[in-house]
């Protein structure tokens, strides 16, 4: 992958927040929106904690002006959000829903009016249900469906949107949705997982090509979940287990994108992907992104086990290691962000890196209409310190986006984990800026980390 620093030459470091359409918008089927796989999945009993759903969520669809106004008030000048595929193409292809296009035009225009730079993610897990009925990510036709969807977005919004991300965390939506079945659409098994991997990997490259063909001045990236992996012990079996876990979690999609192919050497089960690779695919998998978005929250400690199929590895839970954890049960380990920035920088010399997600869920308490979330404030502070350390070492970190601006619907965990800089009372949609939100705004304004 060639040097792409030119895309960010002369630009200031980007400080922003992230969100996704399904987790925030609500407005289920409003103004012609079609169902997504997550709309259907959340209707199934037992799939979501407390059987909650996102039919209203933060109601960003109706509250976008006030939410963006609050963002601007805090001094946050970049907002990463996604487009709901089924809001603009209710059947996934073909008929365009103009009211959906109009909504995103309003959001983009309001961002511009307030001096907030919109950064758009094309796909953040909410595949139209019509397409899932045709096989979803297991159907090779998803590549052409996704290219059509991308064309619609770029033709309608690229005149005012410069920064684009193709996919959000493909390792998660393929693994959790098509192998483990714990996320939408709830499919399980290696026969679903393998084709979904290949088709998603093709889409991340083809999507980049579509954007550049229509809007060549756009700055295009894609985002990867990444976790710092350490072996449980110095035993060779644990070391090899950690290597396999790293290939599965961190290398599955970045390596084909950069022309290295799939990590089949470390993941033997991946050899089955050959049956889905057609002539010319190996070349199509690669694309020279303008930046890479990395999304890091924690580290994992891995040990060998014969009882875990395909990878013979398992995570040692943070609770068993007696370390500090978040409400998600994830270890609080800020060095993980630094290590992953260094790792990506070493693997992709000169490639601009954007931390497109980083944050923490803690138990928030409202007292006198205030939320003093000192744990989250400290987490963000320590993350920024690691970014500054990486910058000082010459690593090309160009931006940092906190997940998330508001509390929202956290997939299978429902509304229990709160990641937001802004507290949301989901019974009445009242917003309360947490102390972490005000601290982040002050940092952006003054660029000073207070002790």
- The residues annotated with a catalytic role in the active site are 169, 357
Compute the distance between CA of residue 307 and CA of residue 319 in angstroms, rounded to an integer. Answer: 21
Compute the distance between CA of residue 374 and CA of residue 75 in angstroms, rounded to an integer. Answer: 20
Compute the distance between CA of residue 10 and CA of residue 232 in angstroms, rounded to an integer. Answer: 43
Polymer length in residues for the chain: 451
Q: Which residue has the tokens 């700055």?
A: 219
Q: Which residue has the tokens 């929106």?
A: 33
Q: What is the CA radius of gyration of the chain?
A: 21
């Amino acid at each position: 992958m060639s040097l792409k620093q030119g895309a960010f030459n002369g630009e200031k470091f980007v400080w922003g927040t992230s969100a996704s359409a399904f987790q925030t918008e609500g407005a289920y089927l409003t103004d012609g929106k079609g169902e997504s796989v997550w709309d259907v999945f959340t209707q199934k009993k037992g799939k979501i904690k407390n059987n909650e759903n996102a039919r209203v969520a933060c109601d960003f669809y109706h509250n976008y002006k006030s939410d963006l106004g609050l963002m601007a008030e805090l001094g946050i000048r970049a907002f990463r959000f996604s487009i709901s595929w089924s809001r603009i193409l209710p059947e996934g292809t073909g008929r365009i829903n103009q009211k959906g296009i109009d909504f995103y035009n309003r959001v983009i225009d309001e961002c511009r009016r307030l001096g907030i730079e919109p950064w758009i993610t094309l796909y953040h897990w909410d595949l139209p249900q019509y397409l899932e009925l045709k096989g979803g990510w297991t159907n090779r036709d998803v590549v052409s469906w996704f290219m059509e969807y991308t064309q619609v977005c770029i033709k309608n919004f690229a005149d005012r949107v410069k920064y684009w991300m193709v996919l959000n965390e493909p390792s998660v939506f393929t693994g959790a949705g098509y192998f483990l079945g714990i996320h939408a659409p709830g499919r399980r098994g290696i026969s679903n997982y393998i084709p979904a991997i290949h088709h998603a990997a093709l889409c991340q490259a083809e999507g980049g090509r579509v954007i550049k063909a229509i809007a060549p001045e756009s700055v295009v990236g894609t985002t990867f979940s990444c976790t710092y992996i350490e072996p449980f012990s110095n035993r060779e079996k644990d070391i090899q287990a950690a290597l396999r876990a790293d290939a599965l979690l961190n290398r599955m999609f970045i390596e084909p994108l950069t022309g290295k192919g799939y990590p089949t050497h470390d993941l033997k089960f991946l050899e089955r992907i050959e049956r889905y690779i057609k002539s010319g695919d190996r070349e199509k998998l690669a694309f020279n992104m303008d930046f890479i978005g990395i999304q890091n929250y924690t580290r994992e400690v891995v040990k060998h086990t014969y009882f875990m199929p395909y990878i013979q590895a398992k995570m040692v839970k943070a609770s068993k290691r007696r370390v500090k954890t978040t409400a998600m049960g994830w270890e609080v380990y800020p060095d993980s962000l630094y290590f992953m920035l260094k790792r990506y920088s070493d693997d992709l010399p000169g490639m601009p890196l954007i931390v497109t997600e980083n944050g923490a869920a803690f138990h928030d308490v409202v007292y006198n209409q205030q939320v003093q979330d000192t744990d989250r404030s400290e987490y963000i502070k320590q993350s920024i310190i690691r970014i500054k350390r990486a910058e000082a070492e010459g690593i090309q970190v160009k931006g940092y986006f906190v997940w998330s601006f508001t509390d929202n619907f956290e997939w299978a965990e429902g509304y229990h984990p709160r990641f937001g800089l802004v507290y949301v009372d989901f019974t009445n949609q009242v917003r309360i800026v947490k102390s972490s939100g005000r601290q982040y705004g002050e940092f952006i304004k003054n660029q000073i980390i207070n002790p």
